Structure 1
Amino acid sequence: MKFSMRTIALVLGLPLAAQPAIAEDEAYVDNVEGWSILRDVERSGCVMEKVNENGFLFRIGKTEAGSEFGYVAVYTKDKDVNVIGGVSKDVTFDVDGERFYGTAKGDFRSGGFRGGYAEANNEAFGEALARRYVLTINPDSDNPLALSLDGTLKAMAATRDCEAHSLAAVGMADAAQQSSLEMGAVASWNSLISNNDRAARYAEDAFAALVFPEITKVGLGVGGEGGNGVLYDKENVLGYYRTSSLSFGAQAGAQTYGYVVMFMDQDALNKFTNSKGYELGVDGSIAVFNAGLTAEADTTNLKTDTVAFVFDEKGLMANWTVEGTRIKPLNF
């Protein structure tokens, strides 16, 4: 589809939580499925953006950190585009035939970009963007704008991860918060090995343990989960880490759990600590012990160099999978 953008007072100016890519206070984080992930170094928010085949810069983001994806922004360097700064206008989003509605505002940006943003008034908009194929803005107008949604599911997960990591790094800057995390990790570790014979047996031979005392799952449908943890050897704190993953079928309200990863030899520990980003079950083999597996274990027959125990406030959990769980270091 070929179209012009003579009037762009329909999708226009980013919310405070996420300034455009040309802003000086943003940092490039990653490229996922063709989407660039950017972090606002001052506000800890993150956005995803890509340029379509007609040269328009599209952004998808959140109005504030921690909320659902809810706005789409469009910018161009075309000097013939007529943008009226601050002008608001109703806008229609068509996502593979499903329609959402919102309000757009025109805006100007540095670096020769002009355009703006539109925020949808339906919380289901973000999930539609993650799971559908084509977004068309104002489909019934003379100048509709179309964007392929290829890769949005993984890019949204990466954007959430970026946001969570950024917020965690800011929140952990205070030494008192580090101390609180360490105390929570120690309490979770002691509870695990005191109440589970298998965990206690593995702990005797482990070279190090990574303890995430509290991981929170949030969101409806396609949600996210994350939490902070501490890596210990037998005597010292070796570092702080952030775990995150995309969750499907999440229920309303926050749900919490924790997990411990034990590294059973030095090579496994080195591989983990030398990585900038580690994905469980992908970057190394791992055995996961869930509910009901409490008998004594013979570690001499272990066929993997890494084991994990998952727990909630009632004890070991069932039906937890490691696929898609990412761990990154927290830098203070």
Structure 2
Amino acid sequence: MKKIHIIWVLVMACVLNMTSMFGQSESKKNKIIADSHTAKAEFIKKDALMKGLFENAYGYVIFPNVGKGGVGVGGASGNGVVYEHGVMIGMASLSQVSIGFQAGGQAYREVIFFESKKEMDRFKDSRFEFSAQASAVAANAGASADAKYANGVMVFTMEKGGLMYEASIGGQKFKFKKM
């Protein structure tokens, strides 16, 4: 019975992820773009040193609204905007499935910085994913001062709301769609 639940969650995550990114109306896409501008400003407001990361990164993707939830088996999804050399080049979707002790739900923002063309191209080819071992830095005042690129990427998250208890494993997958 548990195996059926896991398969159901995986199928639903994939379906919701595909329809949320590729079936976007212009107004939804414009809202995601506007929300990404707000999220960028909030990241910089929380840690002024992040302004330099946005200016100096080869590229970055901002997911302004990621929803996450689960009880035993969990998932997360969100849509974002991709920038290369500071110029918007496309849209992206994020999906995550996790298994383990978890209960609740939360909303957060995520930004991924790419150090070079190589990592950026992997993302644009939709060949980019995070394993369970990947870690993100919580955006706080001064947090970016000590942050370093790991395998060409740097990730920051900012909680927006909710409460989630979690000791689980999972990974994030991404899809890119050129503008």
Query: Normalised by the size of structure 2, how large is the TM-score?
Result: 0.78
Report the secondary structure of 2:145's partner residue: coil
Counterpart mapping for 1:47-66 below 5 A:
none
Q: CA deviation at 1:242?
A: 1.1
Extract unaligned runs of 5+ from structure 1. Answer: 1-127, 131-148
Aligned to 1:327: 174
Query: Normalised by the size of structure 1, how large is the TM-score?
Result: 0.45
Aligned to 1:160: 12
Q: CA deviation at 1:221?
A: 2.4
Query: Which amino acid letter does the alignment assign opposite residue 138 of structure 2?
Result: N
Contact 1:231 1:237 in 2 (8 A): yes
Query: Which amino acid letter does the alignment assign opposite residue 297 of structure 1?
Result: A
Report the secondary structure of 2:14's partner residue: helix
**Cα-Cα RMSD:** 3.3
Among candidates 150, 154, 159, match of residue 312 of structure 1: 159
Change (3 A) 1:296 1:232: closer
More strand by share: 2
Query: Which amino acid letter does the alignment assign opposite residue 40 of structure 2?
Result: W
Check if 1:297 corresponds to 2:136.
no
Residue deviations 1:103-152 (CA, integer Å, cap 9, x gap): xxxxxxxxxxxxxxxxxxxxxxxxx423xxxxxxxxxxxxxxxxxx7xx7
Q: CA deviation at 1:302?
A: 4.6
Change (3 A) 1:298 1:194: same
Query: Which amino acid letter does the alignment assign opposite residue 137 of structure 2?
Result: F
Q: CA deviation at 1:245?
A: 0.9
Aligned to 1:266: 117
Q: CA deviation at 1:234?
A: 3.6
Query: Which amino acid letter does the alignment assign opposite residue 311 of structure 1?
Result: M
Structure of higher RCO (CA pairs closer than 8 Å, 6+ residues apart): 2
Counterpart mapping for 1:210-289 below 5 A:
210-247=61-98, 248-252=100-104, 254-275=105-126, 277-281=127-131, 288-289=136-137
Q: CA deviation at 1:186?
A: 1.0
Change (3 A) 1:200 1:321: farther
Q: CA deviation at 1:311?
A: 0.6
Aligned to 1:92: none
Extract unaligned runs of 5+ from structure 2. Answer: none
Contact 2:115 2:149 in 1 (8 A): no
Report the secondary structure of 1:242's partner residue: strand
Contact 1:181 1:228 in 2 (8 A): yes
Aligned equivalents of 1:201 and 1:281: distance in 2? Answer: 27
Task: Give the percent of matched residue pairs that are identical in Structure 1 and Structure 2.
Answer: 20
Aligned to 1:196: 47
Change (3 A) 1:175 1:291: closer
Aligned to 1:117: none
